[in-house]
A and B are shown apart, each in its own frame.
Chain A
Amino acid sequence: MIITKKALPRRTFLRGLQATLALPLLDAMIPAATALAKTAAKPVPRLGYVFIPMGCHHDKWIPEGQGRLGQLSPSLSPLEPVRDQLTVVTNLELEMSYPGTHDTSNSGFLSAAFAKHTESSDYHLGTTADQLAAKQIGQDTQLPSLELCMDLDPLAGVCNNGYACVYQNSLSWSSPTAPLPSEAHPRMVFERLFGEGGTPEERRAALQNRASLLDSFSADVQQLKAKLTAGDRTRVDQYLDSIREVERQIQRAEHGAMTNPEPDMDRPTGVPVSFADHARLMFDLQALALQGDLTRVITFQLTRELNNRTYPEIGVPDPHHPTSHHGNDPEKLEKIAKINTYHVSFFSEFLQKLAATPDGDGSLLDHTVYLYGSGIGNPSIHDHENLPILVAGGAGCGMKGGQHIRYAEQTPLANLHLTLLDRVGVHLESFGDSNAKVENLFDEVTV
């Protein structure tokens, strides 16, 4: 990969702004001094995906014109601070998703695959883009991928239109028959990332404790080996290989704990009551995971399809789903736009956070590409055309940014997946129903 070195004065500006940008939780989570001290030699590309349900109000979503990104549309206006790292892609579709269904909006978003119509456990979809990426770029990190959501309890039984609930629960599928669960509980996520043990000191002590337990085990195994027959010794040699591998892992973790200690915060114990706090916390956890290089692939279901969450804090006291069947009622359309803007604002805060976090020769945002969008276009009829889709970040990996790619005709969303996968080294002929790559998303650089 060739890293293009661009001068991005905005980033310097943002870095100065960090304190004011920081949310209460973020503030405690990222120790600024240590973040700055991190001097990883070679940045790695990371991929993230954020899913929103039930489409958008297109008039308020799609910016004017095409090519260079001009005036941001009302729904995208929160993204103003990161507009030069933002590409809006218009007129993408999910042709494999069944018209009018919520389930296949979710299931098609990352798979671009046909969801077998069944209520039973014989469900069948396709391996999702994030999981293909994880197989390529997720193997050297603690977690190959991280799957997050906001709705705590997975649905059971039959969901909608005779589709099994897994289609609506799981964005990520590691194979056509293996949906991955996602986690909404911040503490569970935290523990997956940082393990038990609270403070960095405790964590380091715990790692040293592990190392000495391993030493003791290793010594005992060596002694045991002497008592065994030749055939059984081969087996013990395999154990010794495992011991060395775990030793390496502990060393890596210790190194990580030294150079990039986990956040100096009380581990989250409960689930924040308000949607905003919960969403921010989940985004903060993603920033931490990326910053610590604990994972390089993340999917996040910002809310589930068919959700009836209300957003009184932004003047939408009505449940999302019935509102989304707007029937062109201006009042309902306005409320959909408000929800769209609200969701985008959390994404923008997160992107700014990444932009303010140094990483190698640039920022974390420079080395991270996020795809944000929905599997439904017009929520009133739940179609899967003209999807709201954004791509952000990646300036350090050749992403152009500041663009509006506007297709004249409906074009498979799978083309975008194919293009992003290609950029992280998964070179496929095609993905889902793709028929080309997305041109002009990245600089023409040799990968």
Chain B
Amino acid sequence: MPIRKTALSLAITTCVVGPVAAQEASTSHRQLLDRYCVTCHNDRLETAGLSLENIDVGNPREHAEVWEKVVRKLRTGTMPPPNRTPPPVEDSFALRTWLESNLDAVAETQPFAGRTESLRRLNRTEYQNAVRDLLALDIDGGALLPPDEAGHGFDNVNVGDLSPALLDRYISAAQRVSRLAVGTTLTSVQSDVIRLPADVTQEDHMEGLPIGTRGGVVVPYTFAQNGEYDIQIRLARNREGRVGGLRQPEDHTLELLIDRERVELFTIEKPPEEDDHALVDAHLRTRIEVTAGPHDVGVTFFKRTASLLETERQPLQSHFNETRHPRQTPAVYEISIAGPYNATGAADTPSRRRLFVCEPTETNQSLDENCAEQILMTVMRRAYRRPVSEDELNGPMGFFREGQAEGDFDAGIGKALSAVLMSPSFLFRVESDPEEIVDGGAAYRISDLELASRLSFFLWSSIPDDELLDAAIRGVLSDSDELERQTRRMLADSRSFNLASNFAGQWLRLRNLEAVTPNARLYPDFDDNLRQAFRAETEMFFDSVLREDRSVVDLLSADYTFLNERLAKHYGIPNIYGSRFRRVSLDPGSKRGGLLRHGSILSVTSYATRTSPVIRGVWVLDNIFGAPPPPPLPNVPSLEENAVAANLPMRERLAAHRTNAVCASCHRTIDPVGFALENFDAIGRWREHEGDNGLMDASGGLPGVGDFVGVAGLEEGLLSRPDLFVGTLTEKLLTFALGRGIEFYDAPAIRKIVRDVEFEEYRFSSVILGIVNSVPFQMRNST
């Protein structure tokens, strides 16, 4: 790894060398602490559980944990609090650099890497991705495994457990996956039901379906075998049990497509006015022949000639709720697929091509055993992420022989494959101390194989591919040039979209979008289409910054975004038509751009009925600025909604936060950050006014930065301290990469990355490489 000594770090290093200088420095730092900190943080009060009264500032390494706290507060300007006199900027800077350089120097000579858990099971996302890469098989992890508990903001942290329920689900998953991958003829009829959310509007074209259609859905579906399948479609009904959207007397035409080819047309007639609707969609079923493997199943309606929809109310884009904004045309509710009937096995599927590296003779037992061994050896090496010994073949080969005896060669492979998928070597990521460790507790360099898994699970949330695994087995992966080459190769691979969907999805709380249900009376124009568009925008935007290797600060200040018609209309951006997302350049005066202007983030930080400057403030401080406020004090009641008039401006409703001393200690910092985003309502629309209260007052402030107005001011304030944003992003990425919480001893590694990437203009790849090359990523402390 090339170590770039920067001018700044050299200067700091020199200033801590001489003992005389150190002594002088520690005297002045002690004076600063006594004057500005010890008033609260003394042995008697121990405010926030911290006393700086009798702690030796001349020797920071003795109390690294305490001093790292001090460093963070000084860096983010969150201490002393706003109502206290701050120390002179240069003195505070001197103290901070003194502490940092000392702590960093220790980390340099005595690396402390922390200890990731030795046993970590694959979580739901990792399991789904691993199956995709191992067997060329797309599965819905959500249908097979329960959700994972998050820790430190990410769901790959608390994965050391294995409850009975979870173990049970892993067994079911292994059976199902191997059945789908092999397509053995021994399986009976299976069925799946694909349901659409109740709040999807289906009046317009849906992405992925043919032009000239509207509504419906297209889903990838893996058919286990060649054979016949029953497909039944049911239409969405309203609360009275009637099929929604049968308003006109004309018939509607529903089309069933497999891989965009029409296989069936159905006509939907409107029944007489008072009739039951039970039979309206009863005939929407058919039996079709499908070949084994993945296909796109599409169901959609012919779009009628566009005519202006007649409505008595404000025209909205959402149509799903009978009371507020009824469907204008019928919509699909569910598709059920059952089969195979008259199955004839699976001949040629992507999964079989990947799995069957040789073909059995079905006549020569010993040749077939060799073939089975080859197949299993190949899949086990990939699944276990390491070389596999001959001995290890015994278990799966036992399953193979059993299955073969019951059925045929394929059945044997299917059975053996499920055993491979149930092996702890597949299900768990194991990191163990090397045997030759003599110095207990010291940091050691992890093996190349462990490094390969860390890298692939970081960038792809999946198993290494053959090229990465080969490099690790050859023992060249730890070579810094090779590691960089592999990292860049993996970032360029489409699988690194995982960093947008999985990492950013959790870092930015995009996953919570599914639970966002704004009040239908106040925000009638919210539907699932908008929800999904929100998510798509942010994921595509994050991915573009990564893929184009832009500066990570562009995440906050970009002059482009990704829109489709639905989202563009929501944002008030003209001339964007169609369901497809595309990159859109924005004018300098645009209300859109960086992450803080994305509807996704603005709505996951709002309540169902209004914005929350508090939630937004905490979100920015925690996820962008790197100064997470302490959790709310116990026994402090939340601001009673009813106690303050709901028609007052939000700023006045939150006034108690600033007048009450207990509240103010934190909310003085939190609320102004959120106020700056008040021009965006609870579903991310721009507003100049708040109700009848005149112009919106969006003035706000950031600790250590100063006051500003609106989102532009907030962005400018955040960008004035790129070290804070980049440090925060690095910390979140490192948490995700390691699958453990960040501790004080990781701070030197993070600071080093932030220092180094500044000279690479904060390019995304430099941040990723900084993490990959860091001590906590490459090393681990033994017990």
Chain A positions within 8 Å of B, measured between CB atoms, are 119-122, 151-160, 162, 165, 168, 185, 187-188, 191, 196-199, 202, 206, 209-210, 212-214, 216-217, 219-221, 224, 227-229, 231-232, 235-236, 238-239, 242-243, 245-246, 249, 266-267, 269-271, 273-275, 303-304, 306-312, 317-319, 321
Assembled-state Cα–Cα distance A217/B323 (Å): 54
Q: Could you list 10 A-B pairs, sorted by A, with CB under 8 Å?
A: A157-B198, A199-B188, A209-B175, A210-B175, A217-B167, A224-B424, A224-B428, A235-B160, A274-B278, A317-B274
Q: Is the CB of B193 within 8 A of A185?
A: yes
Within 8 Å of chain A (Cβ to Cβ): is B430? yes
Given A121-B517, A217-B422, A196 and B190 touching (CB < 8 A)? yes
Q: Distance (Å) between the CB of B309 and the closest chain A CB? A: 18
Question: Chain A's nearest CB lies how many Å from the CB of B550?
Answer: 37
Give min CB distance, A203 to chain B, whole Å.
Answer: 10
CB-CB under 8 A from B562, the residues of chain A are none
Q: A154 vs B424: C-alpha distance in the bound complex, in angstroms?
A: 40
Tell me whether B418 is interfacial, beta carbon within 8 Å: yes
Write out the residue numbers on chain B whose beta carbons fall within 8 Å of the beta carbon of A156. Answer: 197-199, 320-321
Instruction: Known contacts A187-B336, A216-B395, A269-B336; decide if A151 and B164 are in contact (CB<8 Å).
Output: no
Determine the chain A residues whose CB is within 8 A of the CB of B238 once the complex forms: 155
B118 interface residue, CB < 8 Å from A?
yes
Contact of A187 among B163, B193, B433, B518 (CB under 8 A): B193
**Chain B residue at minimum C-beta to C-beta distance from A305:** B239
A160 to B517 alpha-carbon distance, docked (Å): 17
- Find out whether the CB atom of A267 lies under 8 angstroms from the CB atom of B167: no
Is there an interface contact between A152 and B334, defined as CB atoms closer than 8 Å?
A: yes
Give the CA-CA distance A209 to B334 in the complex, in Å.
32
The answer to the question of B667 belonging to the interface, with a C-beta cut-off of 8 Å to chain A, is no
Question: In the bound complex, how far is the Cα of B75 from the Cα of A25, in angstroms?
Answer: 72
* Given A216-B395, A273-B279; A246-B168 close (CB under 8 Å): yes
User: Do the beta carbons of B162 and A238 come within 8 Å of each other?
Assistant: yes
* Known contacts A155-B239, A162-B521, A235-B160: A121-B608 contact under CB 8 Å: yes
B164 & A249 in contact (Cβ 8 Å cutoff): yes
* Contacting pair A213 B419 (CB below 8 A): yes
User: Quick check: is B234 within 8 A (CB to CB) of the other chain?
Assistant: yes
Contact A154 B274 (CB under 8 A): no
Given contacts A119-B520, A119-B521, A187-B193, contact A232 B118 (CB under 8 A): yes
CA distance A199 to B187 in the complex (A): 11
The closest CB in chain B to the CB of A199 belongs to B188
Query: What's the Cα separation between A266 and B339 when bound, in Å?
Result: 12
Contact B276 A213 (CB under 8 A): no
Kindly state the separation between the CA atoms of A229 and B402 in the bound complex, as whole angstroms. 35
From A157, A217, A317, contact of B320 by CB (8 A): A157
Contact across chains for B193 and A120 when beta carbons are under 8 A apart: no
Contact A154 B198 (CB under 8 A): yes
Q: Indicate whether B174 reaches chain A with its CB closer than 8 angstroms.
A: yes
A316 → B minimal CB distance (Å):
10
Which residue of chain A lies nearest to B430 when distances are taken between CB atoms in the complex?
A: A224
- Contact in complex: B237, A221 (CB < 8 Å): no
How far, in whole Å, are A199 and B188 apart by their CA atoms in the complex? 9
B149 to chain A, nearest CB (A): 15
* A-B CB pair tally, cutoff 8 Å: 188
- Asked whether any CB of chain A lies closer than 8 Å to the CB of B161, the reply is yes
Alpha-carbon gap, A152 to B234, bound state (A): 9
Q: Decide: A242 and B164 in contact? CB cutoff 8 A.
A: yes
Minimum CB distance partner of B190 in chain A:
A196
Chain A residues within an 8 Å CB radius of B234? 152-153, 271
A309 to B243, CA, bound (A): 11
- Measured between beta carbons, the chain A residues less than 8 angstroms from B433 are 229
**Complex: how many Å from CA A266 to CA B341?**
12
Q: Check B241 for interface membership: any CB of A closer than 8 A.
A: yes
CB of B33 within 8 A of chain A? no
The answer, yes or no, to whether B425 is at the interface (CB within 8 Å) is yes
User: Can you name the residue of chain B whose Cβ is closest to the Cβ of A227?
Assistant: B432
Q: Lowest 8 CB-CB distances: which A-B pairs, in order?
A: A156-B198, A157-B321, A310-B276, A120-B608, A308-B240, A198-B188, A245-B164, A269-B338
Which residues of chain B (392-425) have a CB below 8 Å from chain A?
395, 399, 402, 415, 418-419, 422-425
**A119:B519 contact, CB within 8 angstroms:** yes
- Residue in A249, A303, A310 whose CB lies within 8 Å of B168: A249
From B163, B191, B275, B609, contact of A269 by CB (8 A)? B191
Contacts of B428 in A (CB 8 A): 224
Across the interface, do A216 and B419 meet the contact criterion of CB distance under 8 Å? yes
Q: Is the CB of A232 within 8 A of B237?
A: no
**CA A337 to CA B274, docked complex, whole Å:** 20
Identify 7 new A-B residue pairs, CB closer than 8 A, beyond the known A155-B238, A213-B422, A308-B241. A156-B199, A198-B188, A210-B171, A238-B161, A269-B230, A270-B285, A307-B240
Interface contact A220-B395, CB-CB below 8 Å: yes
Q: Are A273 and B278 in contact (CB under 8 A)?
A: yes
Per the bound structure, the CA–CA distance linking A155 and B322 in Å amounts to 9
B276 and A155 contact, CB distance less than 8 A: no
Query: Shortest Cβ distance from A277 into chain B, in angstroms?
Result: 11
Q: How far is the CA of A236 from the CA of B120 in the complex (A)?
A: 11
Residues of A within 8 A of B188 (CB): 197-199, 202
- Interface 1/0s, chain B 488-524, versus A by CB < 8 A? 0000000000000000000000000001011111000
Considering only CB atoms, which chain B residue lies closest to A120 in the complex? B608
Chain B residues 154-183 with CB under 8 Å of chain A are: 160-164, 166-168, 171, 174-176
| B271 CB → nearest A CB, Å | 10
CB neighbours (8 Å) of B644 from chain A are: none
A209-B175, A274-B278 in contact; A267/B521 too (CB < 8 A)? no
B476 is an interface residue with CB less than 8 A from chain A: no
When chains A and B are docked, how far (Å) is the Cα of A3 from the Cα of B731? Answer: 64
In the docked arrangement, what's the CA distance between A414 and B422, Å? 49
Q: A120-B609, A236-B119 are in contact. Are A198 and B189 (CB under 8 A)?
A: yes
Say which residue of A152, A212, A231, A271 sits within 8 Å of B783 (CB atoms). A231
A270: contacting residue among B166, B324, B336, CB under 8 A: B336
| Nearest neighbor of B321 in chain A, beta-carbon distance | A157
A153 to chain B, nearest CB (A): 5
Q: Which residues of the partner chain A approach B614 to less than 8 Å between Cβ atoms? A: none
CB-CB under 8 A from A274, the residues of chain B are 278
Name the contact of B241 in the complex, choosing from A120, A209, A249, A304 (C-beta under 8 A): A304
Which residues from chain A contact B166 at a C-beta distance below 8 Å? 242
Q: Let me know if A304 and B239 touch, CB within 8 A.
A: yes
